[in-house]
Structure 1
Amino acid sequence: MSARTKARKRALDILFSADVRGDAIAVALAAEAKRAVSEPARQASWLYAREIVDGVIDHQDEIDEQITTHSRDWKLERMPAVDRAVLRIATWEILHNDEVPTAVAIDEAVELAKEFSTDDSPAFVHGVLARIAASA
């Protein structure tokens, strides 16, 4: 598993836990940063996870607007928390990280949805992200 794949899982964990607990994302990120100091072996994945989460924080209104616009009749708050987090990660990568090809961002998001969400989530995530990518 690549360091970026691991980083996406860490970012998913941070975004999901903040969402479920009702914490600010920055609070969850700070808690993870404390833990990361004691895990030097995971440094490579931590750096990109932090970049993702910082990017989601910096662009959250735009990211959420894109997800809402392209989710076709699904309100953001009605989506499973895992799907919201996965969509936020991939939308940030599509719109704000030129180092990650759009197809890779979508594929990685679909894989996260397969692993951590409902049976219907991979197709839903793919559809939303494909529409976001087409409009970008």
Structure 2
Amino acid sequence: MSARTKARKRALDILFQADVRGDDLSQILAAEAKRAVNEPSREASWLYAREIVDGVIDNRDAIDEQITTFAKDWSLARMPAVDRAILRMGVWELLYNDEVPSGVAIDEAVELAKEFSTDDSGSFVHGVLGRVVRSG
């Protein structure tokens, strides 16, 4: 598994945790950063996970607007929390990270949805992110 794939899983965990618990994302990120200092073997994945979460924090309103626009009849509140977190990561990678090809961002998001969410989440995530790409 690549460092970026591991990083996406870490970022998903942070975003999901904040959403479900209603905790402040910056505080969870700070706690994870403190933990990462003691785990040098995970440094490569931590750096990209932090970049993702910081990017979602910095662009949350625009990201959520994209998701709401392209989620066809699904409000953010109605989506499973894990799907919201995956879509936020995916939209950030598509719109704000030029280093990741669109196809890779979508594939990685779909795989996370298949692994951690409902049976229908993979196709849902694929559809939303595909529409985001086509709109750009």
Normalising by the residue count of structure 2, what TM-score does the alignment of the two structures yield? 0.99
Q: CA RMSD in A?
A: 0.5
Partner residue in 2 for 1:125: 125
Partner residue in 1 for 2:55: 55
Alignment partners' CA distance in 2, 1:127 and 1:26: 29
Alignment partners' CA distance in 1, 2:3 and 2:23: 27
In the TM superposition, residue 59 of structure 1 has moved relative to its aligned partner by 0.2
Alignment partners' CA distance in 2, 1:98 and 1:130: 16
Unaligned runs of 5+ in 1: none
- Which range moves more in the overlay, 41-50 or 24-33? 24-33
In the TM superposition, residue 27 of structure 1 has moved relative to its aligned partner by 1.3
- Which range moves more in the overlay, 18-27 or 40-49? 18-27
1:91 aligned onto 2:66: no
Alignment partners' CA distance in 1, 2:34 and 2:105: 27
**Identical-pair percentage:** 76
The residue identity in structure 2 corresponding to 1:84 is R
1:75 aligned onto 2:72: no
Q: Secondary structure at the match of 1:122?
A: helix
Unaligned runs of 5+ in 2: none
The residue identity in structure 1 corresponding to 2:75 is K
1:31-90 CA-to-partner distances (Å, cap 9, x unmatched) read 111111110000000000000000000000000000000000100011000000000001
Partner residue in 1 for 2:21: 21
Aligned length: 136
1:114 aligned onto 2:114: yes
Partner residue in 1 for 2:105: 105
1:64 aligned onto 2:81: no
In the TM superposition, residue 28 of structure 1 has moved relative to its aligned partner by 1.2
The residue identity in structure 2 corresponding to 1:120 is D
In the TM superposition, residue 105 of structure 1 has moved relative to its aligned partner by 0.2
Structure 1 stretches of at least 4 aligned residues deviating more than 4 Å after TM superposition: none
Alignment partners' CA distance in 2, 1:68 and 1:60: 12
Partner residue in 2 for 1:2: 2
